[in-house]
Chain A
């Protein structure tokens, strides 16, 4: 192509008018080529930025992401990561540990969980939804690294809003990915007590987005299935992994934890 441009310019040297006209052609061609080169470069750069491979997404069967986290060495069988479950209003939070042993707290409830496992919890006695019981699951993918001896003061906050509870009661499945935000990508705004929630579209990979903005810590799934009295509930409570008591040491005025962010699907 470049050879063709030079050839055309040399041919038009004898005629000033044609030279000018073909010079415009040449410039246009040069601009087009430069634009094409820029486009190819930008496309390549864009493709490079999206080359990260995410085999997991929010539709992955429960337990797979936790199992893969275990394969990556994030599962520490001796560290119980505190998890705090917060409700929009008053209510009860029940954690199910090994052998379906239930431990109930008034909201917010906090317990230590092992990374790599899926835990079933129960939220109930919510004043706005009388009689409603929901059994979300928490799939813990990673752990935090708090100051020594203050693990209970830095739990992973998991919140449920009234809208999410209403959607779950109406047959919807809400999947939330809780992540610890990356300082370089965090919004420089002061956060209040509530954990910010970003809602993604159905085509987006929530785990990939969470991984981009920080470190995915947990996958929370909220639906309307409940255990039945006369039904087969053998698989309902999952792995039966143990939980541990976790009581924060700080007072109410102290900062309890760095707030994470959640992505809802």
Chain B
């Protein structure tokens, strides 16, 4: 009997201890962890920062964390988000960096180390020339500048994204390999140092079959992806391609160079969202700069798919044919999606009681309720001396400092 009792007791203890400590369940800690905390704990949790921007999963629109209108009305500032990401081409030193413009390429707009502010949410075609110790080598990598994410907004508004081509990268490209470099901001659990910094994943250093973009996305938030191959985009007999993929006559090909003090902003060759897909309207308003078309497409405008609409019309609102072969009876009878997320969303408070208490409390002297005054005149008898009686002596005291009291000189005690 006792043995079974202790077995039951130990079971109770183990079950009760369970996941109550932060060491065993780090997601339950009230911090900025990137996990989805459980609501079973006694602690409150904030949703991830990106979820504060939307009212709920699969629902777009301003969420509880988006209050710019109210904030502005109350006299506070607005968001300090930047629409551009500053990319810093670290090296190799002396390399010329150009980019595709409408109808051609703008060469050597920068010289490494150099910086440029690229509009976010777009992909650009770069042209790298004058690579040291690589005579005649010209590379045309694509640079994918991801939109700012709530977790990277502070970094992007204060730091450039470092991009560096190492000798190993160029050797890999020379050997006909495709190199993908992903620059990302690691999540807190993947940060080694207390001071925030970015890390770079290189495809050539990962295990075969591992996707560097997916791996970087798992570890943190991607800020930029650069893909490098050795394809020549300006072959002598190749027609020039316009931004929309159409062939452009040779007479209209533009070729400008920074050596001649000719500069032109880069032209996006594609637009992306945070997940590499067309994004919702929360990306921000379009802001054309210097002939660059508007990035951050608006949902439902200009051919951009409407957010939340299915790509293919099916009876259940999901893409894909619901029944095969076509024309046959529908085989799918029901389609159920259950949300099993544990939630605890309390309703509004009906009655609120606020207890206020000062410590130490307020303690004032009793008011004077009796004064006896006698006055002695010259010529009077000796026993009619001045006498002052106080029912409460406190009214003669002087408050010096809160709780300390002292009697003025000459006062009667």
**Residues of A participating in the B interface, judged by any CB pair closer than 8 Å:** 1, 4, 8, 22, 25, 29, 32, 36, 39-40, 43-44, 47-48, 50-55, 57-64, 66-71, 73, 75-77, 114-118, 135-137, 139, 167-168, 171-175, 199-205, 208, 221-226, 228, 230-236, 238-239, 241, 264-265
**Contact between A54 and B77, CB atoms less than 8 A apart:** no
A4 to B81, CA, bound (A): 65
Is B407 in the interface zone, CB < 8 Å from A? no
Shortest 8 CB-CB contacts between residues of A and residues of B: A70-B76, A223-B158, A116-B76, A47-B42, A67-B71, A117-B77, A63-B80, A231-B117
* Tally of chain B residues near chain A (CB < 8 A): 68
A59 to B154, CA, bound (A): 7
Main secondary structure of the interface of B (DSSP, over half): loop
**Contact between A234 and B83, CB atoms less than 8 A apart:** yes
Q: In this complex, what residue of A is CB-closest to B159?
A: A223
10 extra interface residue pairs, beta carbon distance < 8 Å, beyond A60-B154, A228-B115: A32-B13, A61-B148, A64-B65, A71-B76, A73-B74, A114-B77, A137-B158, A202-B193, A202-B196, A225-B159
Q: In this complex, what residue of A is CB-closest to B198?
A: A171
Q: Taking the nearest CB of chain B, how far is it from the CB of A264, in angstroms? A: 7
- List, in ascending order, chain A residues with CB within 8 A of B20's CB: 43
- List, in ascending order, chain B residues with CB within 8 A of A48's CB: 42
Per-residue A-contact encoding for B69-88, CB less than 8 Å = 1, 0 else: 01100111111111110100
**Contact between A8 and B1, CB atoms less than 8 A apart:** yes
Binds A, one of B28-36, B127-135, B302-310, B391-399: B28-36
**Residues of B participating in the A interface, judged by any CB pair closer than 8 Å:** 1-2, 5-6, 9, 12-13, 16-17, 20, 29-33, 41-44, 46, 49, 52, 65, 67-68, 70-71, 74-84, 86, 115-117, 119, 148, 150-151, 153-160, 162, 188-189, 191, 193-198, 263, 287, 289-290
**Contact between A236 and B82, CB atoms less than 8 A apart:** yes
Q: Taking the nearest CB of chain B, how far is it from the CB of A13, in angstroms? A: 16
A36-B13, A202-B188 known; A51+B42 contact, CB < 8 A: yes
**Contact between B43 and A51, CB atoms less than 8 A apart:** yes
- A selection of 23 A-B contacts at a CB cut-off of 8 Å is A25-B2, A39-B17, A54-B46, A61-B81, A61-B154, A64-B65, A67-B76, A71-B67, A118-B80, A135-B158, A167-B195, A171-B159, A171-B162, A172-B196, A174-B196, A175-B154, A203-B32, A203-B33, A205-B31, A225-B86, A226-B115, A228-B116, A234-B289
**Contact between B194 and A47, CB atoms less than 8 A apart:** no
- List, in ascending order, chain B residues with CB within 8 A of A40's CB: 16
Q: Taking the nearest CB of chain A, how far is it from the CB of B164, in angstroms? A: 11
**Contact between A55 and B154, CB atoms less than 8 A apart:** no
A173-B159, A265-B194 known; A232+B84 contact, CB < 8 A: yes
Q: In this complex, what residue of B is CB-closest to A118?
A: B80
Main secondary structure of the interface of A (DSSP, over half): loop
A51-B44, A71-B74 known; A231+B159 contact, CB < 8 A: no
Specify which of A1, A55, A172 is in contact with B195 (CB 8 Å cutoff).
A172
**Contact between B195 and A63, CB atoms less than 8 A apart:** no
- List, in ascending order, chain B residues with CB within 8 A of A117's CB: 76-77
Q: Taking the nearest CB of chain A, how far is it from the CB of B113, in angstroms? A: 12
Of the candidates B13, B74, B157, the one having the most CB atoms from chain A within 10 angstroms of its own CB is B157
Q: In this complex, what residue of B is CB-closest to A76?
A: B75
- List, in ascending order, chain A residues with CB within 8 A of B119's CB: 232
**Contact between A173 and B195, CB atoms less than 8 A apart:** yes
**Contact between A172 and B197, CB atoms less than 8 A apart:** yes
**Contact between A29 and B9, CB atoms less than 8 A apart:** yes
- List, in ascending order, chain A residues with CB within 8 A of B197's CB: 171-173
A199 to B194, CA, bound (A): 8
